[in-house]
Amino acid sequence: MGTHKMKFIFIAVGGSGTKVADALVSLLAIGFPTNQGKSGLDSEGDVLEIWRLDPDGSSGAADALQQSVDRYNSLQQELEGKWGLTIDPEIRHLDPLKLENGANNKIKTLAGILNSGYEGVTSSRPFLDLFYRPKDLEVAIDRGFYQKPFIGSAVMAVFANTLKDGNSSGGSQCRMTYHETLDVRFFLCGSLHGGTGACGVPIMGKHLRSVRNNMQQANRWQIGACLLTPYATPPDPPFNRLEDEKLLTEDLITERVQQYANTDAFRGLSSGEQRELAKQILLGFYAEPREMITRAGQGLLYYQDHASDSFDALYLVGKPAPDELTSWSNGGKSQRNPGNSAETIAALAALDFFSAKNPKQSGYIVGTSTPTLHSGQIRLSDLPHYRVGNLDIDPERALLAFVTAFHCLFHEVTWDIDVAQWNRKSLPALKHHYSRDEERKRRDLQHYQLAGNDLIYFVASLLSPDRSLGWSADMASAIDRFMSADEGMYGATRRSMGKKGFMSNGPRQPLWLDRWQIEVTAFEFGTWAPNADDFTRGEYLRHLWQKVYEKTPTTRPDLEASIMALT
Partner 1 sequence: MFEALAFVIFDGMESLLEWFTGDPSVPNWESTTTSWLIAALVIAAASTGVMAVAKFIWKAQAASPRERIWTRSKAVLFILGGLAPVLIAVSTTWYLSRDFVNIIALIGLFKGILLGWMLYLFFMVLTHAWGEWREDLF
Residue ranges that bind partner 1, judged by CB under 8 A:
412, 414, 417, 420-427, 494-495, 497-499, 501-502, 508, 521-523, 526
Whole-number minimum distance, CB 495 to partner 1, in Å? Answer: 8
Residue whose CB is less far from partner 1, 502 or 552:
502
Residues 6+ apart with CB under 8 A from 543: 39, 528, 529, 530, 535
- Report the 3 state secondary structure along 266-316: CCCCCHHHHHHHHHHHHHCCCCCHHHHHHHHHHHHHHHHHHHHHHCCEEEE
Rg of the chain in Å (alpha carbons): 26
- Interatomic CA distance for residues 285 and 297, integer angstroms: 20
Whole-number minimum distance, CB 490 to partner 1, in Å? Answer: 13
Q: Residue 69 in contact with residue 87, Cβ under 8 Å? A: yes
Whole-number minimum distance, CB 411 to partner 1, in Å? Answer: 9
- Interatomic CA distance for residues 317 and 366, integer angstroms: 6
Whole-number minimum distance, CB 503 to partner 1, in Å? Answer: 9
Least Cα distance to 144 among 53, 227, 64, 23 occurs for 53
Q: List phi, psi (to 5°) of 298.
A: -65, -40
Least Cα distance to 90 among 173, 166, 14 occurs for 173
Beta bridge partners of 366: 316
Whole-number minimum distance, CB 475 to partner 1, in Å? Answer: 27
Residue whose CB is less far from partner 1, 335 or 493:
493
Residue whose CB is less far from partner 1, 254 or 527:
527
Identify the sign of the CA torsion 197, 200, 203, 209: negative
Residue whose CB is less far from partner 1, 475 or 522:
522
- Interatomic CA distance for residues 313 and 150, integer angstroms: 25
Residue type, 524: E
Residue whose CB is less far from partner 1, 256 or 407:
407
Least Cα distance to 60 among 338, 468, 350, 325 occurs for 338
- Interatomic CA distance for residues 65 and 25, integer angstroms: 8
Residue whose CB is less far from partner 1, 146 or 528:
528
Whole-number minimum distance, CB 433 to partner 1, in Å? Answer: 14
- Interatomic CA distance for residues 128 and 111, integer angstroms: 8
Residue whose CB is less far from partner 1, 412 or 444:
412
Least Cα distance to 418 among 433, 434, 438 occurs for 438
Whole-number minimum distance, CB 497 to partner 1, in Å? Answer: 7
β-strand 516-518 against 554-555: which pairing, if any?
A: antiparallel
Residue whose CB is less far from partner 1, 143 or 431:
431
Q: Residue 195 in contact with residue 110, Cβ under 8 Å? A: no
Residue whose CB is less far from partner 1, 27 or 419:
419
Whole-number minimum distance, CB 459 to partner 1, in Å? Answer: 24
Whole-number minimum distance, CB 160 to partner 1, in Å? Answer: 59
Whole-number minimum distance, CB 422 to partner 1, in Å? Answer: 6
Residue whose CB is less far from partner 1, 504 or 562:
504
β-strand 221-228 against 184-191: which pairing, if any?
A: parallel
Residue whose CB is less far from partner 1, 66 or 521:
521
Whole-number minimum distance, CB 431 to partner 1, in Å? Answer: 9
Residue whose CB is less far from partner 1, 318 or 526:
526
Q: Residue 224 in contact with residue 315, Cβ under 8 Å? A: yes
What is the per-residue DSSP string for 339-395?
Answer: EEHHHHHHHHHHHHHHHBSS---SSEEE----TT--TTSB-GGGSPPEEEBTEEE-H
Whole-number minimum distance, CB 425 to partner 1, in Å? Answer: 5
